[in-house]
Amino acid sequence: MVIPNKQVKSNTDILDNRRTQTRIQVRIPKDLHEEPVISRLVSHYGITVIIADAQVSVNMPQYSCFDLELRGTVSQIESALTYLDELDLEVLHQSSPEEDGW
């Protein structure tokens, strides 16, 4: 009698599917103000985005700054952060998902 192999998820798969959250501050330059950057985080990467604060500085009107809380799986958040990096946006005060996990 042959016993079928059970597929066992690797630790990486389990960690990638764990729900977590992280907080970031992102600066969006004026030339990207018409682009749906934050909306794409939700629609393309499936994460929840909570806007904790948003402002356009009088001293730096070429930027908008957003304090964001990102909630999703580790892999979703990593993909969303890669997207922001590919847009060449400045991301500040990024905490690691492991520090903010819940």
- 36: CATH: 3.30.70.260
* H or E stretch at 44: helix 37-45
Which of 51, 42, 55 has the alpha carbon at shortest distance from 83?
A: 42
Asked, for residue 48, whether it belongs to a domain, the answer is yes
pLDDT at position 76, please?
A: 95
How many domains would you assign to the chain? 1
3 occurs within a structural domain: no
DSSP 8: -
- Print the domain residue range for 49: 19-94
**pLDDT tens track for 11-37:** 555 556 788 999 999 999 888 888 899
CA atoms within 13 A on the CB side of 81: 23
- pLDDT value at position 102? 44
Residue 76 lies in a domain: yes
Lowest mean pLDDT among 16-20, 23-27, 67-71, 82-86: 16-20
Confidence of residue 49 (pLDDT cuts 50, 70, 90): very high
Residue 63's pLDDT is 83
The backbone torsions φ and ψ at residue 49, rounded to the nearest 5 degrees and listed phi first, read -120, 125
